Chains A and B, each alone.
Chain A
């Protein structure tokens, strides 16, 4: 069965009791036992729920792993996954990551006794230099958010294996439709399913997948123990979102590529960051590990004020701190999604307020283009 068909059918085996094509929503906390001596397959919804299990099986199959887990948000998924490690462990985190992940790594994990180093994962030598005997984990995103830098999964996974380091990657920008990190040797894949998997700006969720039995067991323990689980209704909405993932992403990607190429020709734009562009530094690596360039792009205007005016003048994309939705979403990462980075870190990454990030939605390309022209031509 092709990947496109799996998106429509996997984890969604027709309910044998009724034949229902749509997965039932089991909005139930407990599941009655026949008698005190016979616990059933389902007991208590924190520990397991049939609707959540359908979602977990779906994401596991799509990512090519054995074990899938659903969490209350992307950050709940990331924090549970990082709690696989403990006091005294050294964890490497990619420099150019989502602000929420940075905040967790910089402010919360050290309280638990973690030792954290931020590293440019596109630079293998730098990673090598930072590996220490007690380094246990490496967390990365590719393409990175918001600068679309590309990390070589295979090179990182090989290096990490040599040192007994567990690799975790955030696959939110690409989704398994475009990129399946487990196939390249990464150990754990994490999603903010709030984004493309849900796809409609209406549901917060996080997902984790691994193919490693031992890691699967531990993550399952953490999920149940910490309890940051996803409710049945939200699980169902994410399943519903996954059914249109392919048609959404294919369309959005087509529009994003057209926009990226066109934005490069505009005098008001000084730089466009999109892995689908011929001159993108990580393009070859990206296409060796992904089937498309996705629908996220960033670009720079002349200065902070121009970027601010530009975002405010747009009429179609909404201004907001999210991405991956049917509606186009525009943001200034420096003051929105990445506000929790330190000023020093932002400067180092060249992540200033002149950078605009655009999550390309399902609107018509020409409508988006004319809206952007209108916004650019009125800049002071």
Chain B
């Protein structure tokens, strides 16, 4: 079995037998000629299937170790497709600390369509099952969570959830299959905002799903085709291009993240640093057990709300923008950006304070990032 770094570098290679092209061809076509009436080449119409998209879907499927990979036009489109698996009356348990867009989708469109949601803290791994009702059909978790970077025990979660016949869905955006492969622990479905580390260059919006079973794959492929929220061939190709450097990018960004987390941890303007690579993180050992690294996302609280605006204005190398996982480092203010859709009281209950900032560490020289933070944090 070849290693993940090799699989990544060669994603899509040797797929075009006709020409030998190393780079996957971009099939910018909406439709395909039929050889004859009642015959098909396997491709009919690009919404239903496109050769470039297929290479991407097969690649992510192999990387996650699943049975079926499916590509969507955004991370939210992928999550919306998952939501379409359920019917009125169904109940889902969702990690309380979750991306604001997911929260918004579930609590507005999901609720309008008759679904019920409970947002719970899965780090209480021994007691979360209390929330299960006869109508509960699935658990949807992020690990690490966003933005509080909590680590959920995948092995235990899956074991317990499966005892109750629940489907386990894991958003693996923060870690990617290079660091963590939830299907290995028995999860049923993995979702990605491929906009982040998989694309990796802050230049494509896309989502990916991988299923553990053929059957679930078929159901989601039906939804993908019926709803039609698919990414275009050019975007699929850019994601494949991103995959090729995923290992090299993540390794670099993670080294820098640990360095910056240690620096921030000692800084007088900082109240608290949340990074699983720090030994003071409550999920440090668990993360070490279920992932091959700690990722490159850091959250931290500054000492006062007044500092936030000044920091966001003063950073020069780091951009103040709402995303993560790209080559450029980005700093985000969850309060008004990624998590604004979550009601303020809920945010406070969760521990998302007005002083919390989230840093996506990119590929810049770590010294330059440290210097940039140092001057921005100088009060």
Contact = CB atoms under 8 A, between A and B. Distances in A.
A200 B241 contact: yes
Q: How large is the interface on B (under 10, 10 to 19, 20 to 34, 35 or more residues)?
A: 35 or more
A202 B14 CA distance: 14
A362 B203 contact: no
B262 interface: no
A364 B3 contact: yes
A247 B9 contact: no
Interface of B: 2-6, 8-10, 13-14, 22-23, 200-203, 241, 244-245, 247-249, 251-252, 317, 319, 321, 326-328, 330, 362-365, 367-369
Contacts of B23: 200-202
Contacts of B8: 362
19 contacts: A4-B363, A5-B368, A8-B364, A9-B364, A21-B202, A21-B203, A22-B202, A200-B241, A240-B241, A244-B200, A244-B245, A318-B14, A326-B10, A327-B10, A362-B5, A362-B248, A363-B6, A363-B10, A364-B5
A361 interface: yes
A246 B203 contact: no
B9 A326 contact: yes
Contact of A8 (B3, B22, B247, B362): B362
A14 interface: yes
Interface of A: 1-5, 7-9, 14, 19, 21-22, 199-202, 240, 243-244, 246-248, 250-251, 316, 318, 320, 325-328, 361-364, 366-368
A326 B245 contact: yes
Nearest to B367: A2
Contact of B13 (A21, A327, A366): A327
Contact of A362 (B9, B317, B321): B9
A321 to B, nearest CB: 11
A169 to B, nearest CB: 26
Nearest to A366: B3
Given A1-B368, A201-B23, A202-B241, A8 B363 contact: yes
Contacts of B248: 244, 247-248, 250-251, 362
A5 B244 contact: no
A192 to B, nearest CB: 16
Contacts of A316: 2, 6, 10
Contacts of A318: 13-14, 22
A246 B363 contact: yes
Contacts of A8: 327-328, 362-364
Contacts of B202: 21-22
